[in-house]
């Protein structure tokens, strides 16, 4: 069955059916972009076009909870060797330098890599965010960051999120050429609304926990991002490897002759989400990339979503946090 990647922009291409977006027509080879619907096939080097014109790979390698130092370095090197070209890190992870060293030592040209990092809550505010963003670029040692995100709207900030003030700093870093694209993470509708209310450029990406267990509860946020041309990037796709949760996808995995983790990753890809699985085990790093020789049907996706219930097994949920704009400077 050919892969059908549906990018959430045009309702004429996608329909929301019981809380899940499914593709209802493929019109032949089309550039995957924020204004195009379906492509008949894809692979690990395929990309989505962001709303600023830059491109992001369909699949990447996450580094959350990977220990700084040799463990991060070795895992990222393995990921790059087997074919990943997007690496996701953050100031909070304390492994930016190791990610950068692995990228440099890989021998892969910089232009072929896509590196994401994130600004932590403690660095919110215009001046602090500028300093933190420049520091992240130095730590990575890669000249620029492809995608720089506000890590959260202030879940761990004592002074409030200052999200508009902080966003202005990210836009400035982009003007300086240190960041190619800028976006957000863990933002709810109210936080994104605040940026639009203050007439700010909208993020290219909103990265938050998204998988069948929580999709129905977060469908409204997915819809909002669709309407605003913001690409949704899930994390937590393989449920942190919890066997009791992965078993929920085991029957479907047997049908497709895949692992439950591969089915859950395909769940995201078939709905137009760029996914970022993580592992420190070389065999699983390779396995997570091997998801381009099958596809899920609309019924498969509906079945997976029926195992939901809103359980958040491992990750924080700042989506309902109040909005704190900060010191908003005139445009």
| Catalytic residue positions, numbered | 93
Helix (H) or strand (E) holding 102: helix 96-105
Beta pairing, strands 179-185 & 205-209: parallel
Six-digit token pair at 113?
Answer: 């890599």
Six-digit token pair at 184?
Answer: 């957000």
Which residues, 6 or more positions from 129, have their beta carbon under 8 angstroms from its beta carbon? 119, 123, 166, 169, 170, 173
- CB-based contact 157:189 (threshold 8 Å): no
Say how many Å lie between the first and final Cα of the chain, rounded: 49
What does the alpha-carbon distance between residue 304 and residue 310 come to, in Å, rounded to a whole number? 13
Angle formed by the axes of helices 260-269 and 298-305, nearest 10°: 110
Secondary structure of residue 275 in the 3-state scheme: strand
Give me the phi and psi of 215, to 5 degrees please: -60, -45
Taking alpha carbons only, the member of 25, 21, 18, 20 closest to residue 2 is: 25
Residues in the chain: 331
Give residue 249's Cα distance to chain centre.
Answer: 22
Strands (E), the chain: 14-17, 20-23, 47-49, 55-57, 61-62, 86-88, 114-119, 145-150, 179-185, 205-209, 231-235
- CB-based contact 84:279 (threshold 8 Å): no
CA Rg value for the chain: 19
């Amino acid at each position: 069955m050919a892969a059908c990647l549906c990018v959430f922009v045009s309702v004429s291409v996608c329909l929301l059916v019981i809380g899940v977006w499914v593709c209802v027509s493929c019109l032949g080879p089309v550039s995957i972009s924020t204004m195009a619907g379906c492509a008949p096939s894809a692979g690990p080097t395929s990309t989505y076009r962001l709303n600023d014109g830059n491109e992001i790979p369909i699949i990447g390698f996450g580094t959350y909870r990977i220990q700084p130092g040799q463990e991060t370095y070795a895992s990222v090197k393995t990921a790059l060797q087997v074919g990943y070209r997007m690496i996701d890190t953050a100031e909070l992870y304390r492994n930016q330098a190791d990610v950068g060293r692995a990228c440099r030592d890989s021998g892969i040209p910089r232009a072929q890599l896509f590196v994401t990092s994130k600004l932590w809550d403690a660095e919110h505010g215009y001046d602090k965010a500028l300093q933190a963003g420049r520091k992240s670029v130095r730590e990575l040692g890669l000249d620029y960051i492809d995608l720089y995100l506000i890590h959260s709207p202030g879940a761990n900030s004592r002074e409030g999120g200052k999200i508009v003030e902080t966003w202005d700093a990210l836009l400035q870093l982009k003007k300086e050429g240190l960041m190619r694209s800028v976006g957000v993470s863990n933002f709810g509708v109210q936080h994104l609304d605040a940026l639009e209310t203050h007439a700010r450029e909208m993020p290219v990406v909103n990265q938050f926990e998204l998988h069948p267990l929580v999709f129905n509860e977060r469908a409204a946020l997915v819809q909002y991002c669709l309407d605003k041309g913001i690409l949704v990037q899930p994390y937590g796709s393989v449920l942190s490897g919890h066997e009791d949760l992965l078993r929920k996808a085991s029957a479907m995995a047997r049908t497709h002759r895949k692992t439950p983790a591969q089915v859950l990753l395909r769940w995201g890809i078939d709905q137009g989400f760029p996914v970022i699985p993580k592992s420190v085990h070389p065999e699983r790093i390779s396995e997570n990339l091997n998801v381009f020789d099958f596809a899920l049907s609309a019924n498969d996706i509906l079945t997976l979503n029926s195992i939901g219930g809103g359980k958040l097994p491992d990750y924080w949920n700042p989506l309902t946090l109040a909005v704190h704009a900060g010191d908003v400077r005139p445009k």
